[in-house]
Structure 1
Amino acid sequence: MRSMSMGFGAAGMAAAVLAGMVSSAGAQAAPASECEGWHMDTLAQGLGNAENLETDGNGGFFVSGLDTHKVYDIDAAGNVSVVLDNFQFGPGGLQRDGRTLYVMGGMTDGTVGVHALDTATGAVTHVTDLVGNGLLRLPNGGMLTTWVGTEGSPSAGVSAYHHDTGVVQPNWSPVPRSEGLALSPDGTTVYTDDLFTGQIYRIPLDDPGHWTIAGRIGGIVPGDDDLTMTRTGILYVAAHIGGSIDRLNPATGATCSIATGISWGWTGPSSVRIGPDGDGWALYVTAFDGTFRRIRPPAGVDLTPVQTD
């Protein structure tokens, strides 16, 4: 999440919120067995405005510090180290492919966009000028990013980087106020969230201009900031303003909060990912209060993540 002080305005925000509330009429609650009994604990603190996270492949996570201008690695024991710190602004979105970590931000050498960090050697290369909020690497090597429109310029929906040609396609899918990105289990659809209305959008990769609404997270202004998906097609959403992690079944629109009171307003949750937890899986959450948290599911909940490789 970036600053909300520019680019949208009170009238536009009120209209967006009203539209979201109207569209959510008739939404149903998710089953109690999927919503109750989650356990949350704090693994690390002092990370500043922790913007995004990604698994490191070794049982831990990479975390981007928006205001500290650093990328951290938090290992499975909760130890924090810095793996990259030469940013002029950002970093923001993170995505990993093997030993390559893709990082979005502006480097001190003047390059802006997505950079590739070789986590084995420390070498950094500039990949594309694609910029934005959320970042998603597709299985074909392409990338998608979002631009909310709170940074003093209009929303640019979801933009695309085509790996085969190197072309950046702005506003590839013109969804409003898009933030996070998640790929469906079958690899045909991308889900994104609306920062102001709480709506979740469904974008077909083969027809990105024809997106639909999959559901809405509850609350007047939940501030959806990021989302992740399981192999069974369930979305978990970080509600930055509302201070919760919410569950949404896009097939039915059923939703509920699985963790609340994390923090709220500007200091709320900024990113959520599925990662390893012993022999199983858990949700991991960053927030602008500088924390890195783990949320363990109740028995019977399948958190196996979507495989993108």
Structure 2
Amino acid sequence: MGVAGTCIRTLCLAVVVAASSSFAAPAFGYSRTGCAGWQLGTIASGLEQLENLEPDGQGGFYLSGGTKVYHVDGSGQVRTVLENLAAPGGLQLDGTALYVLTRQDGKLWRLDTTTGQLSPIADFPGHGLLRLPDGDFLTTWVGTEGGPSRGVSRYDTESGVVVANWAPVPRGEGLALSPDHRVVYTDDLFTGQVYRIPLDAPERWTVVTTVPGLLAGPDDVTTTSDGHLYLAAHLAGAIHRIDPESGATCAITTALPSGWTGPSSVRVGPDGEDSALYITSFDGTLRRLRPPPDVDLTPVQGF
């Protein structure tokens, strides 16, 4: 099934699962801190359906589109870095190496951003992508791929082995690392739940919260150094701020496109001397969400 067909199927299944599970989902509080005063603006538009983004460390970003990988510099200028790819998804940058996951053929690639050389790394079926402190990679199973659940899978770079269901969560989309590098978070498109996965005991995953609304459709999540999560609710067209300790959540914007064209990824990136949230959407637009003065958006430090 093509990308468009897969996504349509995803929306249909999400309606069914959300409706059947809404009464059983645990309730969590509503946060009033840091929820108001965010300012939304546009950085670049007119691109392919955008799936993911990754800061380049120099004020710009790499973006994955329907068949392309773009680079957007700090002034908003766009260039195509790669094209004719099989549905690029998750992106991770390590120095001059940009790792790209292609969803249609289930492969992990390494792009040398200096020379432009693209090399296959592993067969690694999935959607989201996260590079861990030890150099291993994680990816997620959304639930529309067919076959048994792969939960969150792990690629061991030393042995070259892929461990499916390394963390046996029901499903996952985005992936984010906690500030102390001990926990990974992922989100469930169907149920709206956010899962906490301890790196030293991935089988002991727990539910952090359930995003409000019958069909929020969580698509991606990122973390900040103060411990908060920021989640892109694709179907609802919203970005949520989550306290993972209490599970309290609030929508910091609901002004994004909703349904098919909704937000697909969210990351912290530089905004002059400050930081902001940057958001990709299926409408082919990269947007910036500036925080109010009382919100700390310091990104999680690298490793």
Q: Does 1:139 align with 2:133?
A: yes
TM-score (ref. length: structure 2): 0.94
Q: Deviations over 1:130-154 (max 9, x none)?
A: 1211000001100000011213444
Q: Distance in 2 between matches of 1:21 and 1:308?
A: 39
Q: Distance in 2 between matches of 1:264 and 1:86?
A: 27
5+ residue gaps, structure 1: none
Residue matched to 1:161? 155
Q: Distance in 1 between matches of 2:186 and 2:115?
A: 33
Query: What is the identity, as a one-letter code, of the residue corresponding to 1:101?
Result: L
Provide the secondary structure at the position in 2 that maps to 1:219: coil
Q: Deviations over 1:230-257 (max 9, x none)?
A: 0111000000000001111010111000
Residue matched to 1:85? 83
Provide the secondary structure at the position in 1 that maps to 2:174: strand
Task: Tell me which of 68, 71, 74 is aligned to 2:72.
Answer: 74
Which runs of structure 2 are paired with 1:1-309 in the superposition (5 Å)? Answer: 3-6=6-9, 13-25=15-27, 27-32=28-33, 34-66=34-66, 69-87=67-85, 89-105=86-102, 112-309=106-303
Query: What is the identity, as a one-letter code, of the residue corresponding to 1:30?
Result: S
Alpha-carbon distance, 1:20 to partner: 4.5
Q: Distance in 2 between matches of 1:128 and 1:7?
A: 26
Identical-pair percentage: 53
Q: Is the 8 A contact 1:20 1:198 kept in 2?
A: no
Alpha-carbon distance, 1:18 to partner: 4.0
Provide the secondary structure at the position in 2 that maps to 1:275: strand
Provide the secondary structure at the position in 2 that maps to 1:179: coil
Alpha-carbon distance, 1:155 to partner: 3.4
Provide the secondary structure at the position in 2 that maps to 1:266: helix
Alpha-carbon distance, 1:7 to partner: 7.4
Provide closer, same or farther for how the CA distance between residues 100 and 215 of structure 1 changes in structure 2, counting only shifts above 3 A: same
TM-score (ref. length: structure 1): 0.92
Aligned-CA RMSD value: 1.9
